[in-house]
Amino acid sequence: MDEWKIYTRTGDKGETSLIGGKRVAKNHIRIEAYGTVDELNAHVGLIRDQDIDPHYKTVLLQIQENLFIAESLLAKDETNHEVKLPCLKETDITQLEKEMDTMNEDLPTLNHFILPGGHTTVSYTHIARCVCRRAERIIISLAEQAPVDEIIIRYVNRLSDYLFVLARKIAKDHGKEDTIWTSERCK
């Protein structure tokens, strides 16, 4: 049996293959899009590795699986219609919404902007939220140039909201209050 190796040497000249075989530059916006989703996936894994409620860990694992699906869809050569990949579903978005609704029931009403921080895990979650927003911007830029299934954009958008609420809930779970931002400095 052939041993699978992590290195292929096929990218040594600054190109990589999309799913389906098409070669593109490693700085192609499609690569930037799925690479940023991959970065987000790593940050979600970091949150999952923290001392948090087991339910959050279960949800975060499902999110990681969904992000991997999104990565594969973004990595697919849009001209190759023979490659079949898993897909994101509307229920993946509604699951995030239900999770946010449940967490919000236990959180104080938010009337101000908040500053990230207060606990290491809260900060990790806010970093993931920021990476998620960046991924969304890049995916939208890609969608201006090539077909992108709009459910990917909607999922990533909702995920950034979920990560914001999760950060607040983790802060509360650890006995930390939101740090309110005030704009009084320039008044």
For 67-114, how does the pLDDT look when each residue is reduced to its tens digit (9 = 90+)?
999 999 998 877 666 778 889 999 999 999 999 999 999 998 888 888
d(CA 70, CA 140): 13
Average pLDDT over residues 35-42: 97
pLDDT at 86: 81
- 11, pLDDT greater than 60: no
Residue 19 forms beta bridges with which residues? 76
pTM over 0.75: yes
CATH code of the region 15-182: 1.20.1200.10
Find out whether 75 and 18 touch, Cβ atoms under 8 Å.
Answer: yes
pLDDT at 128: 98
For residue 3, the SS3 value is coil
d(CA 129, CA 48): 14
- Report the percent of the chain where pLDDT is more than 90: 65
Pairing between β-strand 114-115 and β-strand 179-180 as defined by DSSP bridges: antiparallel
pLDDT digits (tens, 9 = 90+) for 56-68: 999 999 999 999 9
- 16, pLDDT greater than 80: no
Contacts of 8 (CB under 8 A, 6+ apart): none
pLDDT digits (tens, 9 = 90+) for 122-169: 999 999 999 999 999 999 999 999 999 999 999 999 999 999 999 999
Per the rule left: phi > 0, alpha: psi between -120 and 50, beta: everything else, 130 is alpha
* Number of neighbouring beta carbons within 10 Å of residue 146: 13
pLDDT digits (tens, 9 = 90+) for 165-177: 999 999 999 999 8
Average model confidence (pLDDT) across the chain: 88
Q: Residue 152: what residue type?
A: I
d(CA 172, CA 63): 22
**Integer CA distances (angstroms), 87 to 11, 60, 135, 158, in order:** 27, 18, 18, 17
- 184, pLDDT greater than 90: no
